[in-house]
Amino acid sequence: MKKPTALFSLLSIMFFLLSGCGSDDATKIRIGLIAELTGDMPAVGASCKNAAEMAVKEINAAGGFQFGENKYAVELIVEDNAGKADQSVSAAQKLITQKKVVAIVGPNASRYAIPASEIAETNKVVLITPWSTAPKTTLDSKTGAPKSYVFRSCFIDPFQGQVLAKFALNNLKLNRAAVLYDVASEYNKGIAEIFKEVFEKNGGKVVAFETYTTNDKDFSSQLTKIKKATPQFIFLPNYYSEVPLQIQQAKRLGINVPFLGSDSWGSEELLKLCGKDCDGFYFSTHYAVDASTEVTKRFIQNYTKAFGATPDDVAALTYDSFGLLWQALNTAGVKDRQALRDALAKIPKYEGVTGTMQFQEGSGDPIKSAVILKIKDGKFTWFANAKP
């Protein structure tokens, strides 16, 4: 008699737990987050996670979502991709098939967002990347056509490359450039090639076009070649964790020209790692803390209060990614993957922290502006706006 009784008790407990999970899930909207919490860019992952938690906390404090007679709170499920492409894929698969999320935000870096986006597209689940500017993120790898379920809240590299090339020529009045970039990274490689094309098409000359591979630490060979080419400035479309070492090695070799960067410079960690070596240099990015709208000021104030740090562009873009999701969910009026995708694609205008944006018909790439920041006295300061 003891065995059947024990079995019955076990089954009863399992039924109770499963029933409870089902009931709980029915009142929640699950959103997945894939962030680089460990690996080569943990500052990016930390900013992304902070902004995501803040956005979810705010929407739940406001009562969540009302669909018909039912109210839904948002449940955030966070996955660390450890700064790896394969773990970005497995994280996306887990969130979609096991956790049954309605949508995914992240990853951020293009080399992680591109493989994760393939999983989302195959499974017909919305993925919004906050920070991936590489065109391939939102394009089908075989046909080159726009993906239907993949979106971003940032501008793309062809626009950013044009902005930087013309800024160097028109604002800085420099026409001899050298470029050093990571040939193994889609983001770095893509923006370097676009910059070169636009710079030379508009009268500039790229006198050195040097490459390295992800995780390299010694750039002396490439920098020696660059020095011999006598450029007026060096373009580094590389991540905040790499740039300080590259600039410091260049200065040790006696290279004393200005450096120009892209949005991957935008972490406060760059200031800590680079110090005075980066003072006076410019880079393009997504928003400026010191030239902000009321929406942006409110976000900065709330983020700083919550986390004791000024939000970088990743934090701002992550917050906007969730804002886009909230607007689409309200429009869809239901907890449904397809309805959410359709509502997101048709958003006419979104007033975000990083500016006004709207999606082009048939594309997950928003129309939006960029800003140029200058590093001055250890701070990022607004210098100029650049519109599409």
pTM score, whole prediction: 0.91
What are the φ/ψ torsions at residue 265 (nearest 5 degrees)? -85, -10
> For residue 211, what are the contacts with CB-CB under 8 A and spacing of at least 6?
180, 181, 182, 183, 222
Spatial contact of 88 and 41, defined as CB atoms under 8 Å apart = no
pLDDT at position 7 is 42
Total domain count, the chain: 2
The segments of the chain whose pLDDT lies below 50 read: 1-23
Residue 153: name the closest of 42, 26, 52 by CA: 52
- CA dist 306 and 174 (Å) reads 42
Residue 47: name the closest of 383, 327, 300, 226 by CA: 300
Owning domain of residue 255: 157-285
Residue type at 102 in one-letter notation: V
Answer yes or no: do 177 and 149 share one domain: no
My answer on whether omega of the bond before 107 falls inside 30° of 0, hence cis, is yes
Answer yes or no: do 354 and 265 share one domain: no
Answer yes or no: do 151 and 30 share one domain: yes
> What CATH number did the domain enclosing 119 receive?
3.40.50.2300
pLDDT at position 358 is 86
Whether 196 maps to a domain, the answer reads: yes
Whether 17 maps to a domain, the answer reads: no
Whether 382 maps to a domain, the answer reads: no
Which of these three, 254, 285, 316, is where a domain ends? 285
pLDDT at position 24 is 53
**Between the CA of residue 99 and those of 32, 227, 245, what are the distances in Å?**
8, 53, 40
pLDDT at position 5 is 44
Residue type at 265 in one-letter notation: W
Whether 34 maps to a domain, the answer reads: yes
What are the φ/ψ torsions at residue 318 (nearest 5 degrees)? -65, -45
Whether 40 maps to a domain, the answer reads: yes
- CA dist 184 and 127 (Å) reads 24
- CA dist 247 and 275 (Å) reads 11
Residue 106: name the closest of 80, 128, 124, 81 by CA: 128
Answer yes or no: do 174 and 271 share one domain: yes
Answer yes or no: do 166 and 256 share one domain: yes
